[in-house]
Structure 1
Amino acid sequence: MSPLRYVFLALAIWGAIHPMAYFAPWIAENGFDLQAMVALWKANDAVTGIYWDLVISAIALNVWIIAEVSVRRNWLALLAIPATWMIGVSCGLPLYLFLRAKPIR
């Protein structure tokens, strides 16, 4: 495996674990209340801006993944879509880059 793939894999793992260090305590305290979490994402203009930045980035990443998978036929790369929406762009993007950097046979 190339050094670049190791970097992408490390970033995907970091992007999965580090944000959960913030989400997990909140979920433990409040339960998995999606409405309350979305309400906090819209608590003020700064947080709302970050929220929309991530949503737009996630949509763009999903469009890119689908467009490339349809050409490259790298079906495993589709795993980056649920990773993006269930964990975050911080995991989904480097995971996709890791899967995309695999040599084509």
Structure 2
Amino acid sequence: MLQSFYLILCILGFVLPYSQFVPFLLEHGLDIKLFFEQLFANRISGFFGMDVAVSSLVLWTFVFWEGTRLKMRYLWVYVVCNLLVGVSFGLPLFLLIRQRQVEQQTD
């Protein structure tokens, strides 16, 4: 049940951010300067940009701490997923695989 919930969150965490990013790419290409200009265009968007940056650092710490404790492999994958999509994808993906690991260890 919990694994299904995490899987749904993974899908949403991938689809929803890219529903906003793909049109930007199609219109502007990979214009990093414009991306950051728009990300910090005002205080509200800057608030969300900073929130995501801090959340990403927290995620990376959690992934390496908890993943090492549970002897999970390929921990770098979750950081890459976070960098390519965001916390909205990297965190539920890590929690999904973590839950599988926990359930295997308790069987």
TM-score (norm 1): 0.91
Preserved CA contact (<8 Å) 2:11 2:89: yes
Q: What does 1:47-86 align with in structure 2 at a 5 Å threshold? A: 47-86=45-84
The match for 1:4 is 2
**Identical residues among aligned pairs (%):** 25
Runs ≥4 residues deviating over 4 A: none
CA distance in 1 between counterparts of 2:40 and 2:16 reads 22
The match for 1:104 is 104
When the two chains are superposed, the root-mean-square deviation of aligned CA atoms in Å is: 1.2
Q: Post-superposition shift, 1:77?
A: 4.6
Which of 22-31 and 70-79 deviates more?
70-79
Matched, 1:35 2:12: no
Preserved CA contact (<8 Å) 2:63 2:75: yes
Q: Post-superposition shift, 1:19?
A: 1.1
The match for 1:23 is 21
Q: Post-superposition shift, 1:104?
A: 3.2
Preserved CA contact (<8 Å) 1:83 1:92: yes
Q: Post-superposition shift, 1:26?
A: 0.9
Q: Can you give the 5+ residue segments of structure 1 that lack an aligned partner in the other structure?
A: none
Preserved CA contact (<8 Å) 1:54 1:89: yes
**Count of equivalent residues:** 103
TM-score (norm 2): 0.90
